[in-house]
């Protein structure tokens, strides 16, 4: 499969428009931006995609500048009626981020203590061009893009979230993996002073929170390093200033507040695998046919919902991204490799 994502130079002026103009224009434009085969794209009038009420955060000037240069050319889920973007208030107040507590509202209440500036990321392991890089230098050479993706948590709820960021493949290519590099391992910050969940002696997780991808998954064009959402920087509770988004996998793969990216030879063991290996695997591809030992994965609650309108929908294979990613797993037993 080849996803032909247009280069900035291929885009017309209408495709690369500052946010403010874009936001007012987007509701009136009908055209479909022509990108390559495979990806379901992109009606710029995607239902309820209006971020004008979203409060702006306070991020450094370089990040604001990158965000205003975003290609507002969303790669979207394919059903704009059903796949409505979650209101910002839901996406930023119903979170899993155990570094700030295990309750869904703990991260929004407590993540204010995280200092995201300055921030640097170590890129090391099987690479020729590793080191410690300021976030700004990681972001600078890449074009920011918007990606409207479904996020499906293994707990059987989901949301549609508009992310901003850069393909992970950009970063990995620049690091120049050696021929031994087969997997990518990610780590979240460890700092109990800033992260109250890491001070709790009852914590399940052996910090840092760790995740991993196979190198071909990491290089896949859908795999995003997000630095923003809803047309602004990431709120801390969503993993500021840098988090992974892998839309065809359960949400726990999408590790937040990343400080280290290591190219490795062996398959990394992720935090949830360590805690309960019979419940959480390395792959964690969304799959309605492979149930979690304690609950079914056949359906999900699409948020926002309510008691009177539970909004239960069928879960899709690979979270609806099968056309793009199924061939990564040709020949792999998805029941054994959950």
Ligand X SMILES: Nc1nc2c(c(=O)[nH]1)N[C@H]1C(S)=C(S)[C@@H](COP(=O)(O)O)O[C@H]1N2
Which residues in this chain contact ligand X in the complex, by CB under 6 A?
95-99, 151, 153, 188, 209, 238-239, 251-252, 254-257
CA-based nearest residue to 239, from 253, 220, 222? 253
Regarding 235 and contact with Mo ion (CB under 5 A), the answer is: no
Q: Closest CB to ligand X among 119 and 209?
A: 209
Q: Closest CB to ligand X among 22 and 209?
A: 209
Under 8 Å between Cβ of 212 and 160: no
Instruction: Using alpha carbons only, give the angle 106, 184, 139 rounded to the nearest 5 degrees.
Output: 70
Q: Closest CB to ligand X among 22 and 282?
A: 282
Which residues make beta-bridge pairs with 145?
71, 165
The minimum distance between CB 132 and ligand X, in angstroms, equals 20
Q: Closest CB to ligand X among 5 and 171?
A: 171
What are 62's two structure tokens?
């370089």
Measured from each CB, the residue nearest to ligand X is 251
Find which of ligand X, Mo ion, none residue 209 binds, CB within 5 to 8 Å per kind.
Answer: ligand X
The minimum distance between CB 256 and ligand X, in angstroms, equals 4
Find which of Mo ion, ligand X, none residue 234 binds, CB within 5 to 8 Å per kind.
Answer: none
Distances (CA, A) of 22 to 74, 162, 163, 165, 174: 12, 15, 16, 17, 31
The minimum distance between CB 141 and ligand X, in angstroms, equals 25
Q: Closest CB to ligand X among 73 and 249?
A: 249
The minimum distance between CB 301 and Mo ion, in angstroms, equals 13
Which residues make beta-bridge pairs with 87?
none
**Near Mo ion by CB under 5 A: residue from 241, 251, 268, 320:** 251
The minimum distance between CB 239 and ligand X, in angstroms, equals 6
Regarding 252 and contact with Mo ion (CB under 5 A), the answer is: yes
H or E stretch at 22: helix 19-26
Q: Closest CB to Mo ion among 22 and 272?
A: 272
Which DSSP string corresponds to 46-98?
-TT---TTSPP----HHHHHHHHT-EEEEE--S-TTTSPPPPHHHHTTS---G
Regarding 153 and contact with Mo ion (CB under 5 A), the answer is: yes
CA distance linking residue 15 with residue 33, whole number of Å? 8
**Parallel, antiparallel or unpaired: strands 145-152 and 157-167:** antiparallel
Under 8 Å between Cβ of 317 and 288: yes
CA distance linking residue 279 with residue 83, whole number of Å? 28
Q: Closest CB to ligand X among 176 and 279?
A: 279
The minimum distance between CB 164 and ligand X, in angstroms, equals 13
Which residues sit at the interface with Mo ion, rule CB under 5 A? 96, 153, 251-252
């Amino acid at each position: 499969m080849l996803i032909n994502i247009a280069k900035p130079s291929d885009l017309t002026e209408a495709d690369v428009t500052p946010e403010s103009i874009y936001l007012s224009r987007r509701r009136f434009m009908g055209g479909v931006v022509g990108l390559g085969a495979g990806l379901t794209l992109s009606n710029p009038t995607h239902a309820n995609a209006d971020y004008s009420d979203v409060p702006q955060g306070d991020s450094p000037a370089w990040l604001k500048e990158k965000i205003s240069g975003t290609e507002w050319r969303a790669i979207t889920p394919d059903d704009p009626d059903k796949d409505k973007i979650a209101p910002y208030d839901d996406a930023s107040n119903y979170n899993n981020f155990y570094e700030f507590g295990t309750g869904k509202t703990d991260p929004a209440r407590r993540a204010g203590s995280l200092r995201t500036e300055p921030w640097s990321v170590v890129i090391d392991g099987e690479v020729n061009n590793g080191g410690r890089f300021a976030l700004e230098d990681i972001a600078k050479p890449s074009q920011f893009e918007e990606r409207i993706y479904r996020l499906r948590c293994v707990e059987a709820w989901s949301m549609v979230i508009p992310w901003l960021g850069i393909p992970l493949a950009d970063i990995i290519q620049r690091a120049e993996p050696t021929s031994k590099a087969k997997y990518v391992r990610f780590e979240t910050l460890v700092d109990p002073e800033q992260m109250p969940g890491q001070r709790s002696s009852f914590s399940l997780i052996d910090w840092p929170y760790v995740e991993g991808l196979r190198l071909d998954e990491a290089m896949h064009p859908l795999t995003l390093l997000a630095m923003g959402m809803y047309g602004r920087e990431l709120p801390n509770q969503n993993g500021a200033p840098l988090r992974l988004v892998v839309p065809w996998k359960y949400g726990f793969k999408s590790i937040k507040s990343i400080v280290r990216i290591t190219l490795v030879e062996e398959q990394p063991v992720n935090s949830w695998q360590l805690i309960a290996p019979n419940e959480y695997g390395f792959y964690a591809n969304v799959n309605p046919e492979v149930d979690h030992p304690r609950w079914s994965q056949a359906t999900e609650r699409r948020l926002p919902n309510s008691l009177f309108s539970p909004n239960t929908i069928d879960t899709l294979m690979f979270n609806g991204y099968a056309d793009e990613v199924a061939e990564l797993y040709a020949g792999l037993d998805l029941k054994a490799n959950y």
